Amino acid sequence: MKPEFKTEIVKTKEYSKVFRIVATVLFVLTTTYLFLIDKENQNIYLKYATFLIYLIGIYFLLGQSFIKPKTIGVFKISDNVIHIEKDGLNKNVPLNQLENIYLKYTDYGSWSSHSIYGNKNYIAITETSGEKYNFEILIRNRASKNDMERILNSPVFHEKFDFRQLKNSRTEFKNS
């Protein structure tokens, strides 16, 4: 059996910086109003409004990890070819045309990590012709991570593979 790793190319929803700053300020203000101000001095309507804003803030802080990122393609890697299927592009990159492959590894998806679908793992592929591909991919679980690790550490990828593991990663991606 040929070793193979197959996953989805995804796009995670990103919120604008202004929205995140406003949401953070509102969350801090509502938390202060609800939990630090004396209960007898609170306006009942303002209390319910701040509680609603507080619940929305909790959703954006914790609930986003339960929303599946949008799938925009398929990424498949085996010991002799890399297959990319994205936005109508159906590309096979043979290993002899591969200059390098770079993985920015965060972690795989699990209940202990922040996302059950997989964290933001980015992969960059450069062909000898100079064509570059950058994708956000999902590594769903430990078995999926081990499959990818096994393929990328195989002798055929040894010279062309490099990675960076982010500090907040809970599991190690081994490079032999």
pTM for the predicted model, two decimal places? 0.73
Please check whether residues 111 and 147 belong to one and the same domain. Answer: yes
On whether the CB atoms of residues 166 and 150 are closer than 8 A, the answer is: no
Both 43 and 80 in one domain: the answer is no
The answer to whether residues 86 and 156 belong to one domain is yes
What confidence category does residue 85 fall into, taking pLDDT thresholds of 50, 70 and 90? very high
Do residues 102 and 133 both lie within one domain? yes
Final residue of a structural domain among 66, 86, 107: 66
Q: Is 172 within the bounds of a domain? A: no
Q: Are residues 142 and 94 in the same domain?
A: yes
Residue 169 pLDDT: 63
75 contacts 83 by C-beta, under 8 angstroms: yes
Q: What is the pLDDT of residues 115-134, one digit of tens each?
A: 667 777 889 999 999 999 99
The answer to whether residues 81 and 160 belong to one domain is: yes
Whether residue 152 is found in the same domain as residue 73: yes
Same domain (yes/no): 74, 146: yes
Looking at the DSSP assignment, which residues form a beta bridge with residue 101?
Answer: 125, 161
24 and 91 share a domain?
A: no
Given this model, what pLDDT does residue 72 score? Answer: 92
The last residue of one of the domains, among 45, 66, 87, is: 66
Beta strands 132-137 and 70-78 are unpaired
Domain limits for position 32: 17-66
Given a contact cutoff of 8 angstroms between Cβ atoms, the answer to whether 10 and 69 are in contact is: yes
pLDDT at 113: 54
- pLDDT tops 90 at residue 143: no
Q: In terms of domains, do 78 and 114 share one?
A: yes
Cβ atoms of 104 and 55 within 8 Å: the answer is: no
Residue 167 pLDDT greater than 70, yes or no: no
Lowest mean per-residue pLDDT among 43-47, 110-114, 145-149: 110-114
Q: What burial class does residue 173 get, using C-beta atoms within 10 Å of its C-beta: 0-12 exposed, 13-18 middle, 19+ buried?
A: buried
Residues 129 and 149 grouped into a single domain: yes
Mean pLDDT of 43-61: 87
First to last CA, the chain: 22
Give the span between the Cα atoms of 176 and 160, in whole angstroms.
13
Cα 148 from Cα 140, distance rounded (Å): 11
Is 53 within a domain?
yes
Examine residue 24 and state whether it is found in any structural domain, yes or no. Answer: yes
- Single residue among 26, 47, 66 that ends a domain in this structure: 66
Domain CATH for 149? 2.30.29.30
Number of domains present in the structure of the chain: 2
Does some domain include residue 128? Answer: yes
Let me know whether 73 and 152 are in one domain.
yes
